[in-house]
Amino acid sequence: DIVMTQTPLSLSVTPGQPASISCKSSQSLLHSDGKTYLYWYLQKPGQSPQLLIYEVSSRFSGVPDRFSGSGSGTDFTLKISRVEAEDVGVYYCMQGIHLPGTFGQGTKVEIK
Amino acid sequence: QVQLVESGGGVVQPGGSLRLSCAASGFTFSSYGMHWVRQAPGKGLEWVAFIRYDGSNKYYADSVKGRFTISRDNSKNTLYLQMNSLRAEDTAVYYCAKGGVAMVRGVIITRAFDIWGQGTMVTVSS
């Protein structure tokens, strides 16, 4: 199985400041069709996960533009340009190029 | 609105069985693949199983293969997970999620899980 490694595992951010989460995969997530199957999810406290980003950098419907994804091959980053109180929770990256889809360990984001 | 609602969780003894259900509404259930994903207490997310929109293809995580069976009834807009021979390590919140799996140029890819249910808790304990 592909191993997904996130850093850091926790992050404390002042509201209005940026935040960045790294995700590295043990194999390239680039498919021969030209797409890279890397997703980001946010699990807010007490809630189920929700999709934020698909195929590295495409924001899902309704996701604020302060969230952005980037990267290629095996190295990916989720950035929040200005953290808001509602952004707290655990962020997970997930790969979809190899079955089973596997998730990173999660990065807990809290507000200072 | 688009919604997935799980039910059927509970406490079961090791070796026992349980069937989870996931009722879908707000979208054409019969047109989409569906997954089960679980989360052990205080832990991360683990994909469990997938079923194609028409039930023709099913995939399972190695950890549940041979013990769990995913199925669906498109006439009832409902997804199921039959769990047999349950173990303590199966204790988790079980989420259903909408998303596809496709064969693209010989590689099975998993598309994003764009809708998730609220989850149902399964506890395996004596």
Average pLDDT, stretch A99-112? Answer: 96
In terms of CA atoms, which chain B residue is nearest residue A62?
B114
Q: Is the pLDDT of residue B104 over 90?
A: no
Average pLDDT, stretch A48-77? Answer: 98
Q: Is the pLDDT of residue B103 over 90?
A: no
Residue A112 C-alpha, separation from nearest chain B C-alpha, in angstroms: 22
- Run of H or E including B58: strand B58-60
Q: Is the pLDDT of residue B106 over 90?
A: no
Of the partner residues A32, A48, A101, the one whose CB lies closest to the CB of residue B118: A48
Q: Which of A51, A53, A59, A107 is the best mutation test for B, with the most CBs of B within 10 A?
A: A51
Average pLDDT, stretch A34-60? Answer: 97
- Report d(CA A88, CA B33) in Å as an integer: 30
Cα distances from B60 to residues A22, A26, A58, A84, B43, in angstroms, run 28, 21, 28, 38, 20
Cβ(B125)–Cβ(B90) under 8 Å? no
Residue A82 C-alpha, separation from nearest chain B C-alpha, in angstroms: 24
Query: What is the model's pLDDT at position A86?
Result: 97
Helix (H, G, I), strand (E, B) or coil at A86: helix
Of the partner residues A39, A98, A103, the one whose CB lies closest to the CB of residue B44: A103
**Distance linking the first and last C-alpha atoms of chain B:** 39
In terms of CA atoms, which chain A residue is nearest residue B44?
A105
Q: Is A35 exposed, middle or buried (0-12, 13-18, 19+ CB in 10 A)?
A: middle
Q: Is the pLDDT of residue B69 over 90?
A: yes
Average pLDDT, stretch A2-18? Answer: 97
pLDDT band of A69, cuts 50, 70, 90: very high
Cβ(B113)–Cβ(B35) under 8 Å? yes
Lowest mean pLDDT among A17-21, B4-8, B98-102: B98-102
Q: Chain A contacts of B57, Cβ < 8 Å?
A: none
Q: Quick: pLDDT tens for B9-55.
A: 999 999 999 999 999 999 999 999 999 999 999 999 999 999 999 99
Residue B29 C-alpha, separation from nearest chain A C-alpha, in angstroms: 19
Of the partner residues A33, A98, A103, the one whose CB lies closest to the CB of residue B45: A103
Average pLDDT, stretch B91-114? Answer: 93
Strands (E), A32-101: 38-43, 50-54, 58-59, 67-72, 75-80, 89-95
Q: Which of A27, A48, A94 is the best mutation test for B, with the most CBs of B within 10 A?
A: A48
pLDDT band of B102, cuts 50, 70, 90: confident
Q: Is the pLDDT of residue A79 over 90?
A: yes
Cβ(B112)–Cβ(B19) under 8 Å? no
